Structures are given as C-alpha cells and as structure tokens.
Amino acid sequence: MMLSTKKKETKIKCDKMLWEHLAFLVKDEIADYKAKDAAIEAEIKAIEKEKGTLRQNYLDKEAEIKKESGNTVNTDEAFESMNAMLKDSGFRASLFVRNRVSRTVMRWFVMAISRSSV
C-alpha cells in the first residue's frame, strides 16, 4: 500500500513539474499573445469610437439635409411662374431660360424683351 501511495505522489509531483516546465517554455509566447491581444482590443475600441463619431456625423448631416430640404424651391416652377407674370406685364416669349454653365454652377440669364423697346 505504501508503494502505491508513493507512486501516486510521485506521479502527481511529476505531472506538476511537467506543467511547470511547459509553462516556462511557452511563457514568452503567452506574453506575446497577451500583448498582441491587448493591442487588438485597443484598436477595436478606437475603431468603435471612430464608428460612433462617424455615425453621429452622419445623423447630424441627415438632420441638416432634412432641415434644409424644407428651404428648397422648385426653380422650374418659379421660372414658369415668373415668365407667366412677365408675359402678362407686356413681355413676350419665354423670358427666363436656364443655362447650364458648368456641372456645379447654374446661371440664369434673363432674356427679356419689352414690347415698348420693339
């Protein structure tokens, strides 16, 4: 009985020593893993923070667009209305014509001819 108890104790001691030795051998790899894991976690937090900022900027711009959409004017209807008023006042033909000068700049040229100048 004494021998089997001693054998169990020795096995437990050997197992413990083996695990300690394995832990010693891989401690550098574990430290590298933990450092890389911490760096990745920090990067994830930074990205999530940036994502939140971008999302808020998006929501702010969307709200601004909705607000400004109420201030827009249908220029085609406005020009048709002004042309109709000018015709009724003695001008002839379409007096306001839309002319695209560039992709980003629209200029409106007035081509008004009064009946009195004819």
- Number of alpha carbons in the 13 Å side-chain half-sphere of residue 25: 6
Amino acid 93: pLDDT: 59
* Burial environment of residue 95 by CB neighbours within 10 A (0 to 12, 13 to 18, 19 or more): buried
CA distance 99 to 3: 106
Tell me the backbone φ, ψ of residue 102, rounded to 5 degrees: -150, 180
Q: Report how far residue 65's alpha carbon sits from residue 59's, in angstroms, rounded to the nearest whole number.
A: 10
Q: Span 89-104, mean pLDDT?
A: 55
pLDDT at 36 over 80: yes
Task: DSSP letter for 103, please.
Answer: S
More confident residue, 102 or 19: 19
Nearest to 94 by CA among 108, 76, 80: 80
Tell me what the pLDDT averaged over the chain comes to.
78
Secondary structure of residue 88 in the 3-state scheme: helix
Q: Is the pLDDT assigned to residue 117 strictly greater than 80?
A: no
Q: What is the mean pLDDT of residues 84-97?
A: 68
Q: Considering the chain, what percentage of its residues have pLDDT values greater than 90? A: 47
Q: Average pLDDT, stretch 5-27? A: 92
Say how far apart CA 14 and CA 31 lie, in whole Å: 25
pTM above 0.75, yes or no: no
